[in-house]
Amino acid sequence: MRKGVEDRIKKAKSEKLMVKAKSMALQLPPEGLKLHSGGFLSEVVVSYECFGKLNASKDNVILVCTPLTMDAHIAGWYSEEDKEPGWWDEMIGPNKAINTDNFFVIGSNILGGCGGTTGPSSLDPATGSPYGSHFPTITIQDIVKVQNLLIEQLGVQSLAAVIGGSLGGMQALEWSIAYPDKVKKCMCIAASTHLSPQALGFEIVGRKILLNDKNYAHGDYYDFPDRPDTGLAFARMIGLLTYLSPASMHQKFSRSKDESESTEKFETGYDVENYLDYNAKKFVNRFDANSYLHITYAMDTYNPIETYGSIEKAFEKSSSEFLLVALSSDWLFPPSESKRLCKTLLNIGKIASIIELDSPYGHDAFLLEVEYLKPVIHSFLTEELETKQDRVDKINALSTAFEDTPPEVPVLFNLLDDFKYIESLIEPKSHILDIGCGDGKLIDTLYRLRGATGYGIDINLESLVHCLFKNVPIVHGDVDDGLNLFGDQSFDYAVLNQTMQMLKKPDYVLKEMLRVAQKGIVVFPNFANINNRLAILSQGVMPISKGLPYNWWESPNIHLFTYKDFQVLCESLNIQIEQSLFITNSFLSKGFCALGFNNLGAELVIAKISRSSGY
């Protein structure tokens, strides 16, 4: 066991969040539960757990959807003797990412599973024997339908959030499709709308191996002493390989072996083989072969495109706010699939954010490496208290202070001033893209001052977490790679606030800005300012100023340019500079600007740009 896992178990035991397993026989129509395939189940029992307290309005409910082989035991301990807590215990509990002091959290075992909810190993009421081969085909739609019946019969009509990873992420997406007005926030982790052909291939091979086990008996093996353990073990081995990544495989195993281990003919004794054998045996002891077949089949066949004709049509009625979390080394659900889904959601006008977590642990990272996922989930679910009345008062006070002051005659020289000048160039209730958004303060401020809405894009994860706290939708990405998730003319304004000097391809980004937005606002320090020139002339070293507040060796700025340079670049790109504000701080700078020598006087430039007729 990894040391980090051991430490988490010790910590969890010291906190002791105790929980009881619950079970409910759902109230069904006289004909039973109608399934997506056309079949029926006359009775459905659901195993589930609850954490926290349901508020008076019953709108603080979070549903956690389980991955492929997990169960309803999502957090806490059943008894003092338990060796391990629930599978997502690090994420769920008082003051944790999914805070049970604020939310009522529900986890349930999925339909078709073997953890207490009706599945192939359950007794068929018609025969008194396990369903076995008679258990009907199930889909993700059926799984979500049962979850909806559960929450309704618990007295809950809407969900603050649905969260799931892997197969659970597919369920979360289906919730937003099937019940478009019930889910406020939908968080899909390491999943997308369908499996790739390669991932499907691994799943298909695993099922074929299991089906060809001599003890499978067409699914009616429950009364026999020998079960299809060998086939299930091999299917699990194949699955395990898809959950890892080349980097994590090398880190975990390399080519090391246990020389003392006696091996059968053709067994290598390598650590990777021992790992697969050990985990496959553990899995066989806790999981049912029929459940594995039904659930993997449901996962493989899920594809809203086939059901609705397109992803656009599938999500068109959804009112959910989406957060998609991709894992950099996940090849079962690669980041490209999450980006494709995010682009579609954005293009049909949904509020959708995307974050890519850098991890070497492959698909399993959302279970194994939760440190970076914790703040992402917490910030998505919880609004920052500082964005309440105290921040409104501060921003309103700032706005009042500038009411009679022309933007080109600044009183102060700080970030909030920049926001005020940018605000003066933006129409009320505009839709804005903040490129290199940092912690989201610009969008948040413009929302409060001008009623603007918008998105941020940034490469820094910590900054994006702060954006989510402020309810600023975000896209995690490198601006130099383009704004390809956004469609043409998706925004009224695109803002590049003190970021252009840090870009590798500023010309490309300027063109992308005016592709996705009608107008652009560019804020940049003017290196031609008289104070910079005098510093170099008198001292012979690169200046440090409020506009360029770095030593040259630690500066993120890779292009130091002037206002005239910017004019030349815009002319070469057929970009029109509609308006420029020249921000000054020193007396000398003010003097040169007053005389009309803006390239000498400006310390900071705020330019409003648009496409020229020949663009």
What is the number of residues in the chain?
615
Q: Which two tokens stand for residue 212?
A: 């060809």
Helices 229-243 and 289-301, axial angle in degrees (round to 10): 40
- Residues facing 433 on adjacent strands: 455, 494
R_g of the chain computed on alpha carbons: 29
Q: Is the dihedral of CA 199, 204, 206, 207 positive or negative?
A: positive
What span, in angstroms and rounded, lies between the C-alpha atoms of 519 and 542? 34
Yes or no: say if 1 and 83 are a contact pair by the CB < 8 Å rule: no
What does the longest C-alpha to C-alpha distance in the chain come to?
97
Residue 79 three-state SS: coil
Burial (Cβ within 10 Å: 0-12, 13-18, ≥19) of residue 410 = buried
Tell me which of 108, 122, 166, 291 is the catalytic residue: 166
Tell me which of 73, 194, 294, 363 is the catalytic residue: 363
Q: Which two tokens stand for residue 605?
A: 């430039």
Supply the DSSP symbol for 216: -
- Residues facing 98 on adjacent strands: 92
Q: Which two tokens stand for residue 551?
A: 């030593």
Tell me which of 288, 330, 364, 444 is the catalytic residue: 330
Yes or no: say if 63 and 52 are a contact pair by the CB < 8 Å rule: no
- Residues facing 610 on adjacent strands: 576
Distance of CA 441 to the CA centre of its chain: 20
> Can 476 be counted among the known catalytic residues?
no
Q: What is the DSSP string of 125-176?
A: TTTSSB-GGGSPP--HHHHHHHHHHHHHHTT---EEEEEEETHHHHHHHHHH
Q: How far is CA 280 from CA 10, 101, 233, 286, in A?
A: 26, 38, 5, 10
> Can 166 be counted among the known catalytic residues?
yes
Catalytic residue annotation: 166, 330, 363
